[in-house]
Structure 1
Amino acid sequence: MTATPTAPTPPFHFTTPEFRRDPYPFYAQLRREMPIVRLNQGRRGESYYVSRYDDVMALIKDVERFASDKRTAGHKVSWIESRLSMGVTESMVMKDGVDHRRLRTLAHKAFTPMRVAALEQRIAQLADGLLAAADARGTMDMIADLALPLPVAVISDMMGVDERYRRHFHHWMKGILELDGAGWLELLTNFPNMIKINRFLRQLIAERRKNKGEDLLSALVEAEEAGDKLSFDELVASTLIILLAGHETTVNLIGNGVLALLEHPDQLERLRAHPELLDGAVEEMLRYTSPVQLNAPRFACEDTELCGVPIRKGEAVCPILASANHDETHFEDPERFDVGRQPNRHVAFGFGPHFCLGAPLARLEAKLAFRAILQRYTDLQLAVPRSQLTWRRSQSVRGLNSLPLRVRR
């Protein structure tokens, strides 16, 4: 089938409140009518977006025709673009081939199965302690009281970030994600915050050079000092990406997952009655709520085509992971939230060489958080009408700003 790349009507933007509230009907329209569509998303400019599962997989698996590093596709990265991107162009997210494997191998040390499994007791203790603080009140904000502080504490421990800095770095990093849907003026207005996080990372690295420990940042510093593994800019970018990816997905997975359970009380009760379904329930939350909506763009390395549409060398193509996870041709009744869904081959963490390194950690954190919630509370209810919940404006991720709840032990 040859797809039409014409833009939808009315004009559409990933960051509008209406879209963030419920993007899935629009994704369904894209899959039916415009499986590849060219959209102008403000500062991001024009890009193609693919929405069907098979096309998303074809795009992210084809490392010969589509590159993560725009320089591979003939683009130049200007000084100002490098500064505004916080040096992410030097991270593994934006690298291909040998450079990507080199950086990923180093970062993988943080997320080996053995290292992640060793964190289980610490994560469970953190979750219980955070929830205990809400017991006396009978109310809580699931985001501020659990979904955010839990993964922030875990990744900070892993990276050796002192507790007094933790709230600061999340505030700064959240700002970076919110800016991916902002215009140039808003980006420039927030430039001082971007300078602050860059300074924070450099100071953190300088401190670790003086006093190495057993944390991951110390291991990365040692690799950088060896001279043949990491440049200093790569070290800064890798630290940023690990801190960001090490907690951001989990925040939205827990928040979105709790809301999905509240909106489907039959599945909540099913999970209470059958706690052995918890692993599968987390996978269904990943599929159904897709904390990461868009994967990083790929750039055509040559003139080619996708879905029957010509793509010129250098043009960007973005895979819509959230749409692929609701594709009717791969998931039976995809708009149904089913904690026992099998099979469930979602792409919430991407696929291929750039599959999310932090996936095992996010899964474990979510599993232990939901186990603590289900064991602790006999009753969970929204404390505000559903219509009053607000969503973050980031294009890349989808998550709640807050989730006020009434709870009963």
Structure 2
Amino acid sequence: MQRVIDLTESADLLRRDPHPVYARLRDQGPVHRVRLATPGGEWETWLVVGYAEARAALADHRLAKDIAKAGGVPMDEQLIGKYLLVADPPQHTRLRGLVARAFTMRRVEQLRPRIRQITGGLLDGMLPHGRADLIDSLAYPLPITVICELLGVPEMDRAEFREISTEVVAPTDADTEYAAIVRLAEYLTGLIEDKRRAGPTDDLLSDLIRTTDEDGDRLSARELRGMAFLLLVAGHETTVNLIGNGVLALLTHPDQLAALRADMTLLGAAVEETLRWEGPVENATYRYAAEPLEIAGTDIAQGDDVLIGLTAAQRDGARYADPDRFDIRRDTRGHLAFGHGIHYCLGAPLARLEARIAIGTLLERAPGLALDGEPGEWLPGVLMRGVRSLPVRW
């Protein structure tokens, strides 16, 4: 049995700047048995930190997403229902097929004018003040507004929802995480019932309620709630961090910011380099060994859980030269920010579109954009990578 590397003593550093910790681990090998500090207490797991090994593991069918294959039941599945991140084929294939019918590239592209309109309105309200918290003023309200309109979620208490959602993906402790999931489950149950009673409308949630495949298959009530949970939470949390991390990276690398301002055709590349250099998801959600397997010469026992380090893999010098350098002209092809394989992020096109519009419009309208103090604390936990606040001025 491989020795356990205790990372609980590095918990603060992992939160603030995990890259040196991951670099030391990569120097020792691509796969490690580690002990982490989690909201529920200390936890031992396998952590994959090498790029090649992470990419292969993301597509390895022996690493299941359904914890039942390891003898457990996830809390969120019990309370919310089955959804893509906790399902394997053939169930995953069926669920994704039903969702993909409504969540199409055409629907995303149709959102472009509305995303521009929302961004413009947010900047109209922000720019006259001369300074702001970019997370509160742009990075959060843009994607939450877009995903709520896309799903057909009525105007809600955005501050309350932000608190609930953040607690689900970056919990401070096990009790508050449980309470947040319960509150979200209750909200979604009521929302879906209201939708059913109101009849069909032109939004994604209504599409999911009535969508069927060729065999007449349809999402069950629990599957529908699980899908709404995934799209609503994952559909905005990751984009909040992508926008925030992208602006922070540019403002702390003035040469790259100047290069982008001189040639805005580099905007797409700047977003891709942000995804590689400081992507919004630090580790993919847990996978479970459905059978004994080996990763880079390391034996993984059946039932063991495995964390695939996206942040760690994307700073692997074996894949990207000078990986700690933020370079918007870099060839970022093959980055793992949206995953790889059958669980590749369904919302990747929407996240990219929102980030390009948000960052591009911000730079055009705020030519003197600069940091206005230190960024807020980084989110807790091992899933998300982003700051709670980003003070800027212009």
Q: 1:356 aligns with which of 316, 338, 345?
A: 345
Q: Who is 1:209 aligned against?
A: 196
Q: 1:375 to 1:110 in 2, by over 3 A?
A: farther
Give the match's secondary structure for 2:4.
Answer: coil
Partner of 2:170: 178
Aligned to 1:283: 272
User: Does the CA contact (< 8 Å) of 1:252 and 1:398 recur in 2?
Assistant: yes
C-alpha distance in structure 1 between counterparts of 2:245 and 2:102, whole Å:
26
Q: 1:311 is matched with which residue?
A: 300
More divergent stretch after superposition (45-54 vs 349-358): 45-54
**Aligned residue for 1:87?**
80
Distance verdict in 2 for CA 1:189–1:243, change over 3 Å: closer
Question: C-alpha offsets along residues 297-336 of structure 1, whole Å, 9 cap, x if unaligned?
Answer: 2211112221211111111111000111111011011111
Which residue of 2 is the match for residue 26 of structure 1?
21
- Hey, what's the Cα distance between the residues in 1 that align with 2:368 and 2:25? 38
Moved more, 216-225 or 368-377: 216-225
List alignment gaps of at least 5 residues for structure 1.
Answer: none
Matches within 5 A, 1:183-198: 186-189=173-176, 191-198=178-185
Kindly tell me: are residues 393 and 85 of structure 1, through their superposed partners in 2, closer, same or farther at Cα, counting changes over 3 Å? farther
Residue 2 of structure 2 corresponds to residue 39 of structure 1: no
Which residue is 2:360 aligned to? 371
- Are 1:299 and 2:262 matched, yes or no? no
1:247 and 2:236 matched: yes
Q: Name the CA distance, whole Å, in 2 between partners of 1:248 and 1:105.
A: 23
Q: State the shift of 1:83 in Å.
A: 5.5
For 2:175 and 2:250, how far apart are their aligned partners in 1?
39
Task: Quote the offset at 1:189 in angstroms.
Answer: 4.7
Distance 1:83 1:319, change over 3 A: closer
Q: Is the 8 A contact 1:291 1:399 kept in 2?
A: yes
**Rounded Cα–Cα distance in structure 1 between residues aligned with 2:178 and 2:5:** 33
Return the letter of the residue paired with 2:322. D
Contact 1:17 1:393 in 2 (8 A): no
- The change in CA–CA distance for 1:279 and 1:295 in structure 2 (over 3 A counts) is same
For 2:16 and 2:75, locate their aligned partners in 1 and report how far apart those are by CA, in whole Å.
32
1:62 equivalent in structure 2: 60
**3-state SS of paired residue (2:307):** strand
Shift of 1:253: 0.5
Task: Using the TM superposition, give the Cα deviation of residue 190 of structure 1 relative to its aligned residue in structure 2, in angstroms.
Answer: 5.1
Helix, strand or coil at the partner of 2:46: strand
Q: 151-160 or 90-99, which moves further after superposition? A: 90-99
Q: Aligned pair 1:151/2:148, yes or no?
A: no
CA RMSD of aligned residues (A): 2.1
SS in 2 for 1:346: coil
The one-letter amino acid paired with 1:401 is: R
TM-score of the pair, normalised by structure 2: 0.93
The AA in structure 2 aligned to 1:22 is D
Rounded Cα–Cα distance in structure 1 between residues aligned with 2:27 and 2:207: 48
Counterparts in 2 of 1:303 and 1:276: CA distance versus 1, 3 Å: same
Q: Conserved in 1, the CA contact under 8 Å of 2:371 and 2:391?
A: yes
In 2, Cα distance between equivalents of 1:224 and 1:174: 32
- CA deviations on 1:43-86 (whole Å, 9 max, x unpaired) are 373210000001101111111x2211122x34142xxx446864
Q: Does 1:404 align with 2:391?
A: yes
Change (3 A) 1:242 1:209: same
- 8 Å contact kept, 1:257–1:285: yes
* Shift of residue 128, structure 1, vs aligned partner: 1.1
Q: Decide which of 3, 14, 17 is 1:6's aligned counterpart.
A: 3
Q: Are 1:101 and 2:96 counterparts?
A: no
Give the number of equivalent residue pairs. Answer: 389
Give the Cα–Cα distance (whole angstroms) in 2 for the partners of residues 327 and 368 of structure 1.
29
Change (3 A) 1:312 1:152: same
Cα 1:300–1:84, aligned 2, differ >3 Å: closer, same or farther?
closer
**1:323 and 2:312 are equivalent in the alignment:** yes
Alignment match, 2:125: 133
Q: Is the 8 A contact 1:110 1:158 kept in 2?
A: no
1:345 corresponds to which residue? 334
Q: Unpaired runs of 5+ in structure 2?
A: none
Q: Secondary structure at the match of 1:8?
A: strand
Deviation for aligned residue 1:39: 1.9
Amino acid at match of 1:146: L
Letter in 2 for 1:395: V
Cα shift at 1:227:
7.4
After superposition, what is the alpha-carbon deviation per residue over 1:69-126, rounded to whole angstroms, capped at 9, x for unaligned?
A: 122x34142xxx44686435x1111111111011112222453221111111110111
Contact 2:29 2:50 in 1 (8 A): no
Q: How many Å separate the matches in 1 of 2:98 and 2:178?
A: 30
Alignment correspondent of 1:222: 210
- Structure 1 residues 62 and 98: alpha-carbon distance in aligned structure 2, compared to 1, 3 A threshold: same
> d(CA) in 1 for partners of 2:184 and 2:160?
9
Counterparts of 2:390 and 2:113, CA distance in 1: 26
**Contact 1:147–1:251 (CA<8 Å) still a contact in 2?**
yes
Query: Does the C-alpha gap of structure 1 residues 378 and 189 become closer, same or farther in structure 2, counting only changes over 3 Å?
Result: closer
Distance 1:85 1:260, change over 3 A: farther
Secondary structure at 2:129 match in 1: coil
Q: Are the aligned partners of 1:284 and 1:344 in contact in 2 as well (CA < 8 Å)?
A: no
Q: 2:70, 2:289 within 8 Å by CA — same for their partners in 1?
A: no
Change (3 A) 1:299 1:36: same
Q: Structure 2: which amino acid aligns with 1:94?
A: V
